[in-house]
């Protein structure tokens, strides 16, 4: 069935001045520890929402909403947003910001928690993830949310540009590595443009990138996700070595490594960056049944 998109209804988004005044009133100063860089540009948050391709029926989970800039833009389109915020001061203020500025008829909840610790969310199962992820925890947060909430069908995350390249890289690319393979286990991912530093406060020293993902079935295998990811971690821990050598500890010996690789139809002289997620799944399955 074709998705029916709802045209955005104008709400009172936060301007750069609004963000600073709100932060001053709350006594909030962005910290590197929490990776806080607040978006202060309304055009940017609306662009993120457009790229996310949301409908009114989507239940959106947002990680790290901060002062609510992106939250309000999400509520212009989606009828329900659940935000996960680790900062107690920001989490306490968000409901008031939404009540004062969001369009009528929307539903909002905030969960005070570290996103990598969240096991469940209130209300209906989330269908979309849209988030400005802190640079220092972007990859573990994305992978954890995708793993714990299999109802998520699509979404977009804004991350450091270098991280965006790694998330979407394919086999053979110099940026292809553990984040690339593990993301591919859950979803197809692609770059959807860059975001310049001046749209943030404080202004970061690097560009950001938008990564769009669409959930897809995991590779057909009898191996578990944990077994596959163990092979991925081992292969890239020594990425300059051949797989025969890199997987020797995982397999028990170089000879056993070669045996399992051949059973999986993988050249023992290949390197990790040459393999697809399906290749890693076959290696894990060979190791599991041996």
As a whole number of angstroms, the distance between CA 177 and CA 172 comes to 10
Across the beta sheet with 128-132, what order do the strands follow? 107-112, 80-85, 59-63, 128-132, 154-160, 208-215, 187-195
Q: Which helix (H) or strand (E) holds 77?
A: none
Rounded Cα distance between 15 and 19, Å, is: 6
Tell whether residue 43 is among the known ligand binding residues: no
Q: Is 114 annotated as a binding residue?
A: yes
The 3-state DSSP composition of the chain as helix, strand, coil percent (nearest 5) reads 45, 15, 40
Q: Is 66 labeled as ligand-binding?
A: no
Distance between CA 180 and CA 160 in Å, rounded? Answer: 15
Q: Was 39 annotated as part of a binding site?
A: yes
Residue 87: its H or E element: none
Element (H, E) at 135: none
177 annotated as ligand-binding: no
Strand partners, 30: none
Q: Which residues are annotated as a binding site?
A: 37, 39, 64, 85, 114, 132
Return binding residues for S-adenosyl-L-methionine: 37, 39, 64, 85, 114, 132
């Amino acid at each position: 069935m074709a998705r029916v998109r709802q045209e955005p209804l104008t709400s009172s988004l936060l301007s750069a001045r609004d963000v600073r005044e709100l932060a001053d009133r709350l006594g909030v100063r962005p910290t590197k520890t929490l990776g806080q860089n607040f978006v202060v540009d309304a055009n940017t948050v609306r662009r993120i929402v457009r790229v996310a391709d949301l409908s009114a029926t989507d239940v959106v989970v947002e990680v790290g909403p901060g002062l609510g800039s992106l939250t309000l833009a999400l509520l212009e389109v989606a009828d329900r947003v659940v935000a996960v915020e680790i900062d107690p001061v920001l989490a306490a203020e968000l409901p008031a910001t939404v009540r004062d500025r969001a369009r009528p008829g929307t539903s909002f909840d905030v969960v005070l928690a570290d996103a990598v610790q969240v096991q469940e969310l209130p209300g209906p199962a989330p269908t979309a993830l849209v988030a400005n992820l802190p640079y220092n925890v972007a990859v573990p947060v994305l992978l954890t949310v995708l793993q714990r909430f299999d109802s998520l069908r699509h979404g977009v995350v804004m991350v450091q540009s270098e991280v965006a390249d790694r998330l979407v890289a394919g086999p053979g690319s110099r940026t292809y590595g553990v984040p690339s393979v593990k993301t591919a286990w859950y979803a197809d991912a692609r770059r959807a443009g860059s975001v310049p530093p001046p749209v943030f406060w404080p202004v970061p020293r690097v560009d950001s990138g938008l990564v769009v993902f669409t959930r897809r079935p995991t590779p057909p295998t009898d191996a578990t996700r944990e077994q596959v990811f163990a092979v991925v971690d081992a292969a890239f821990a020594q990425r300059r070595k051949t797989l025969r050598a890199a997987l020797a500890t995982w397999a028990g010996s170089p000879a056993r490594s070669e045996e399992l690789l051949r059973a999986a139809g993988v050249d023992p002289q290949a390197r990790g960056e040459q393999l697809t997620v399906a290749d890693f799944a076959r290696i894990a399955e060979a190791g599991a049944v041996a």
